[in-house]
Amino acid sequence: MSFPGNPSRRSAWLLLAGLIWPTLQGCAPARGVGDMGIVIERASGSVAVVENSHMNVLARVEGLGDLSHASLVYSRDGRYAFIFGRDGGLSKVDLLSGQLVGRVIQGGNSIGGSVSQDGRLVAVANYQPGGVKIFATDTLELLADIPAVDAKGKTSKVVGVADAPGQKFVYSLFDSDEIWVADVSQPTTPRITKYTNVGSKPYDALISPDGRHYIAGLFGEDGFALLDLWHPEQGVKRILNNYGRGEKRTAVHKMPHLRGWAMAGNLAFLPAMGRHEVLIVDRESWQEVGRVPVIGQPVFVMAQPDGRQIWVNFAHPDNGNVQVIDVPSRKLIKTLTPGPGVMHMEFTPRGEHLWLSVRDADRVDVYHTGTFERLATLPALKPSGIFFTNRAHKIGL
């Protein structure tokens, strides 16, 4: 934008533009979004818009449908959140105005999604009717519908969708034991590469922070499926086969999640399915190099941004606890008992604080990661997922 006149007049124009620019942009406040985020309020179909610099709730947005197992991703600029709900809803929320600005019912039950490398596309993974749908992030226009139907004509639930370099989405077919890679360079005509027989019932997945390795956990057996996207011609490899060999399988009280970025240096820390252990894996060989006994069945295993500590929460009946693992010693160094129903955790961008949701106490707690002191408590309605906007600039989040 150019401004007329001499320097003093230009200064006046700039001052006036600074005053009216938020109004021209739809009455959104003139502030950045780098310290903002969203807390899912699972029972009320609402979300709380928060900021972590001062540990405040800024707004509440309602009318988002069934959020009993909701997740979200952010637009490239971090201003908009795309929220995926159990009712098949795809909702677009403006963090600056604190408003719902778009919503479509695109399926019967959606459990996750991802934004493309260029920020123009949002992919939604569906339990029902299965498959992946691709939408434009600006208008929520449907651009592609990719059914998850295997060679035998069987339709599958889709889980673990993640963005990958090269304008791709990678996802797993729970019922068909497959991993698919969708090249959406031409979004209306995606090109699909399919990997079959990857292992029994891939239930969730992560992609490494550099976008190279896609790892799916297997619900039907002990082990993980690994796809090296630098060398896709090598196919999917099995890693950590039979890590519970010879031991009686126990009931799984809650499916563990792999999206915690449990990567610390050359190590990966992964939840052991149905076991009271965290597996330690060497990221070069993808071989197990250790285990850490923990208090219960791990759900989220999350590394601090500096990689020095790993924070773990748990399935029922141990979900009132959080434990901290020291990476250099590979030992537990702290057990916290925040309260009943710790559902999710999220680090501030540089890792000085950890936010965690205490669902059954209707609150969010903020802890200092150095002292383990609880610094603040924020009210929230049956909170679950916590998502800060720095995710907008990370692969796979």
Residue 391 φ/ψ, nearest 5 degrees: -60, -25
> What would the pLDDT profile of 287-297 be if each residue is shown by its tens digit?
999 999 999 99
356 — pLDDT class (breaks 50, 70, 90): very high
Mean pLDDT of 150-158: 95
Per CATH, is 106-252 categorized as 3.40.50.300? no
Instruction: Decide if 376 contacts 358 (C-beta within 8 A).
Output: no
What is the C-alpha separation between 65 and 196, in angstroms, rounded? 35
**Structure tokens, 291:** 């285990």
In angstroms, the CA 130 to CA 276 distance is 32
Residues ≥6 apart with Cβ < 8 Å to 79: 33, 94, 95, 96
Residue 381, number of CB atoms within 10 A of its CB? 18
* Whole-number Å distance between alpha carbons of 98 and 371: 33
- Residue bearing the bigger pLDDT, 14 or 183: 183
In the chain, % of residues over pLDDT 70: 90
pLDDT in tens, 50-84: 999 999 999 999 999 999 989 999 999 999 999 99
Residue 316 CB: number of other CB atoms within 10 A? 13
Return left, alpha or beta for 68; rule: phi > 0 is left, psi -120 to 50 is alpha, else beta.
alpha
The string of DSSP codes covering 241-300 is: TTTTTTS-----SS----TT--EETTEEEEEPTTSSEEEEEETTT--EEEEEE-SS-EEE
Reduced to 3 states (helix: H, G, I; strand: E, B; else coil), residue 226 is strand
How sure is the predictor about 196, in pLDDT bands with cuts at 50, 70 and 90?
very high
**Which is more confident, 110 or 332?**
332
What average pLDDT does range 316-342 have in this prediction? Answer: 97
- Position 131: which residue type? G
Query: Which parts of the chain fold into alpha helices (H)?
Result: 7-24
Residue-level pLDDT at 2: 42
Q: What is the 3-state secondary structure (H, E, C) of 325-364?
A: EECCCCEEEEEECCCCCEEEEEECCCCCEEEEEEHHHCEE
Q: Where are the domains of the chain?
A: 106-252
pLDDT of residue 27: 60
Based on its alpha-carbon atoms, the radius of gyration of the chain, rounded to whole angstroms, reads 22
Of 7-21, 228-242, 365-379, the range with the lowest mean pLDDT is 7-21
pLDDT, tens only, 215-268: 999 999 888 999 999 999 999 999 998 776 546 666 777 777 776 568 888 999
- Per the CB < 8 A criterion, the answer to whether 122 and 110 are in contact is no
> How far is it, in rounded angstroms, from Cα 88 to Cα 245?
38
Residue 20 has a pLDDT of: 40
Percent of the residues in the chain that have a pLDDT greater than 90, as a whole number: 82
